[in-house]
Structure formats: C-alpha cells, structure tokens
C-alpha cells in the first residue's frame, strides 16, 4: 500500500503530464478506471493495490457515516417488533 501511495502521484504525472489533483473530474475517473483495469501505463501492481484499497476504504467509511447509519439504513439493536 505504501509503495503505491508513494509512486501514485509521480506515475500519474508521468503518464498525463499534470498532477492528479489538477485534473478535471472526468480525467480523474478515467485515470483511476484505467489503473484498476490495467489499461494505462501507470498501472503497476503497487499502484493498482493502492487505488483498490483506497476505493474500498472510502466506500466503507461512507457506509459507516452518521447519515447512512441513521437515515438510510438505521441500525436496530433488536430486530423485528414485539
């Protein structure tokens, strides 16, 4: 994970000519999709692992947010009604 984190920005800058944060939203999505599908030249194994773990942790964090837990899928201690 840490190797991918360290080489992600340099690899994206090398393949696209600009930093990841300077890209437009659609360019970022295309870059990340290319890394996950190994269709870009910057899709080394460490970078792919970094992106996939970051994606998973982001989704997990969102699903455990207060909004989701209270409004969308409220947690009930005892399932069903009496």
Residues 15 and 42: beta-carbon distance below 8 Å: yes
Give me 40's structure tokens.
């870009």
Say if residue 62's pLDDT is above 80: yes
Say if residue 67's pLDDT is above 70: yes
Per cent of the chain over pLDDT 90 is 2
Say if residue 10's pLDDT is above 60: yes
- Report the pLDDT value the prediction gives residue 81, as an integer from 0 to 100: 62
Look at 3-12, 18-27, 40-49 and tell me which has the smallest mean pLDDT: 40-49
Distance CA 25, CA 76 (A): 37
Give me 74's structure tokens.
């409220």
User: Model's pTM, two decimal places?
Assistant: 0.65
């Amino acid at each position: 994970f840490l190797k991918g984190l360290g080489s992600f920005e340099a690899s994206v800058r090398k393949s696209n000519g600009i930093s990841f944060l300077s890209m437009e939203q659609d360019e970022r999505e295309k870059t990340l999709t290319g890394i996950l599908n190994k269709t870009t030249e910057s899709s080394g194994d460490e970078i792919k692992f970094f992106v996939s773990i970051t994606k998973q942790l982001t989704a997990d964090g969102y699903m455990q947010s207060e909004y989701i837990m209270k409004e969308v899928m409220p947690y009930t201690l005892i399932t069903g009604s009496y």
